[in-house]
Structure 1
Amino acid sequence: MSLILFIEQMLNGVQFGVMLFLMAAGLTLIFGVMGLINLAHGSLYMIGAFAAAWVAGMSGSFVLALIASLAAAAAAGALIELTVIRRLYDRDHLDQVLATFALILIFSEGTRWLFGSFPLFLEIPPYLSGPVTLPGGIEYPLYRLAIIGVGLLVAAGLFALIARTRIGIQIRAGEADREMIAALGVNISALYTIVFALGAALAGLAGALIGAIQSVQVGMGEPVLILAFVVIVIGGIGSIKGALVGAILVGLTDTLGRVLLPAVFAQFMAPQAASSVGSSLASMSIYILMAGVLVMRPSGLFGKA
């Protein structure tokens, strides 16, 4: 493998990791602050993608599509928090899993009813299409670089929100001792709704951004949700820094594994068999990474014991 191809795959891994971070950041906030296992988070990712594709098709504006993805996912998140999730905080995790799994089915069938079973397509806007030449003569798609940039900006914004704002102080306090901040006069119900809507909006943004690379279809959020859970386990539950580092590690491991492992096995077996074995091991590699991290740090890289 040439150096240029290796760097391109590294960038692909970072781009994939940034998308996973947008999913995992909301998920780790929700779990860290509320202690809630939300299997419906992938459905909010799907809602953002469908909202963006529909608005882009109606208006032709990619910016409006991104705004629509944020608004639709945040509204859906706030609605289900107020109507369903709020009744689950004092229930055990099995009840939370069953209820949020039911939400997956409801959102999937509702989306299929509204948009049909055929996938939608979100086009990359002209000003973000085509390659850009990086130092060293590397040509890389501008849109994928834009995803990396947006993800890093969101990460910086989340760090600033959590560390330097009043709502961030309340979120951190709610994660540490929700009964105490409720006793101090903080409206814990409103705080939970805000956190849930924020996490949903981030998932919707991720769905919209990736919708221009792959087709937008029912059920697209569940595979990403599994990887987002892997990310927060690696990074540490409740840690935004952990979500970012874990997402980049998972993105690089998955992307480089799919490229390097088939090439390694091609030295010893037929190309078709090498591709099959290498791809299978690459799919396993992120879970091997997760197991290795948990052996050394059971609470994750940045999680609290």
Structure 2
Amino acid sequence: MSSALLIEQALNGLQFGVMLFLMAAGLTLIFGVMGVINLAHGSLYMVGAFACAAVAAYTGSFWLGLVASLIAAAAAGAIVEITVIRRLYNRDHLDQVLATFALILIFSEGTRWVFGSFPLYLDIPKVLQGAISLPGGGQYQLYRLAIIGAGLIVAIGLYLLIAKTRLGMRIRAGESDREMIGALGVDIASLNTIVFALGAALAGLAGALVGALQSVQVGMGEPVLILAFVVIVIGGIGSIKGALAGAILVGVVDTMGRFLLPQLFALFMQPSQAATAGAAIASMLIYIVMAFILAVRPKGLFAVNA
């Protein structure tokens, strides 16, 4: 195993973790402030990817597509919050799960009706189509590094928003006591819509960025949504810092597990058996890590107010 290949896989894990952070950050904000379990968050990821692909194909500009993904996902999130989620705040979690699961079906069929059943494809912008050299002689795609950089910039921006602005102060207060800030004159309805739209925009951005690495297709958000829930459980529900830590942990563990475990099993098993066993254990690895972390820290790595 070369050092260049090991570094490449570690960077792949970091890139995957950053993408999960963009999903999980919005999800943990929504749950932390509103107490709503939003299964349709993956659909907003899909909306962002389709908006980016459609606008990029029409204009020839990936960057305009990226802006469109933010606007489309934020608008879809605001509409969903106003028309559906707002009626679920005082209902139990089962009602929220059923309603947002219905939204998944609506988004999927609506997207299929508008764009058809065939996948769309996004081209990586020319400025990011190159590769850089890694220690040991390997090459790593510049676009994947750009995703890592974009995710870290978003993480810093979210920290500054939550910690240093008046809106962030209201969001933190809403996590602690929504009724109290309502009594103090804060418009809770508007705050909820803003938070939901912000979370949706982050999901849409993740979908657009990943859309250039894989096909853009109906249902692409559901597998990522499951991992995003794992991230916020590991990191601590409601914590942006926890979402970042949990996302990077999940991304690196999942990627490195799929890379290293088959090679480890190959030391004492037949290659075909090692590949099968390694893939099976690797697919369970993040859930094993989650169970271990929750056994030690039942509320996750960081408290809600971290």
Normalising TM by the smaller chain, what interval? over 0.9
Cα separation, 1, equivalents of 2:5 and 2:239:
33
Q: What is the TM-score with the length of structure 1 in the denominator?
A: 0.98
Q: Which residue of 2 aligns with 1:223?
A: 223
Give the total of aligned pairs: 305
Structure 1, unpaired ranges of 5+ = none
2:22 counterpart residue number: 22
Q: Distance in 2 between matches of 1:133 and 1:166?
A: 43
Deviations 1:65-112 (A, max 9, x none): 100000000000000100000000000000000000000000000000
User: Which residue of 2 is the match for residue 44 of structure 1?
Assistant: 44
Question: Who is 2:268 aligned against?
Answer: 268
**1:106 equivalenced with 2:67 (yes/no):** no
Q: Which residue is 1:253 aligned to?
A: 253
* CA deviation after TM superposition for structure 1 residue 25, in Å: 0.1
Matches within 5 A, 1:112-123: 112-123=112-123
Shift of 1:139: 1.8
Question: Percent of pairs identical after alignment?
Answer: 75
User: How far apart, in 2, do the equivalents of 1:135 and 1:64 lie?
Assistant: 35
Q: Which residue of 2 aligns with 1:77?
A: 77
Give distance in 2, aligned partners of 1:179 and 1:191. Answer: 13
Corresponding letter in the other structure for 1:95: D
What RMSD over aligned residues (CA atoms) do the two structures have, in Å? Answer: 1.0
- For the residues of structure 2 that align with 1:196 and 1:274, how far apart are their CA atoms? 44
C-alpha displacement at 1:133, in angstroms?
A: 2.0
Q: Distance in 1 between matches of 2:199 and 2:131?
A: 31
Instruction: Answer with 128-137 or 19-28: which moved more.
Output: 128-137
Helix, strand or coil for the counterpart of 1:11? helix
Equivalent position amino acid for 1:158 in 2: L
What amino acid sits opposite 1:244 in the alignment? Answer: L
SS in 2 for 1:121: coil
Q: SS of the residue aligned with 1:89?
A: coil
1:7-18 map, 5 Å: 7-18=7-18
In the alignment, what sits opposite 1:141? 141
In the other structure, the counterpart of 1:5 is 5
Residue 35 (structure 2) pairs with residue 35 (structure 1): yes
For the residue of structure 1 that corresponds to 2:114, the secondary structure is: helix
Other structure's SS at 1:249 match: helix
Separation in 1 of the partners of 2:40 and 2:304? 25
Q: Which residue of 1 aligns with 2:184?
A: 184
Tell me what 1:130 maps to.
Answer: 130
Preserved CA contact (<8 Å) 2:27 2:41: yes
How far apart, in 2, do the equivalents of 1:270 and 1:72 lie? 50
Which sits farther off after the overlay, 262-271 or 220-229?
Answer: 262-271
SS in 2 for 1:39: coil
The superposition leaves residues 37-68 of structure 1 with CA deviations (integer Å, 9 ceiling, x where unpaired) of 00000000000000000011101101101000
Question: For 1:190 and 1:261, how far apart are their aligned partners in 2?
Answer: 48
- 1:165 matched to which residue of 2? 165
2:302 partner amino acid:
F
Q: Does 1:95 align with 2:95?
A: yes
Aligned-residue offset at 1:220? 0.4
**How far apart in 1 are the matches of 2:288 and 2:208?**
30
Where does residue 193 of structure 1 map in the other structure? 193
Paired amino acid for 1:173: A
Q: Is the 8 A contact 2:254 2:282 kept in 1?
A: yes
Unaligned runs of 5+ residues in structure 2 are none
Distance of 2:134 and 2:127 partners within structure 1? 17
Deviation at 1:4, TM superposition (A): 1.4
- SS of the aligned residue for 1:132 comes to strand
Once the two structures are overlaid, the 10-residue window that deviates more, 160-169 or 272-281, is 272-281
* Cα-to-partner distance string for 1:247-277 (whole Å, 9 max, x where unaligned): 0000000000000000011112221221111
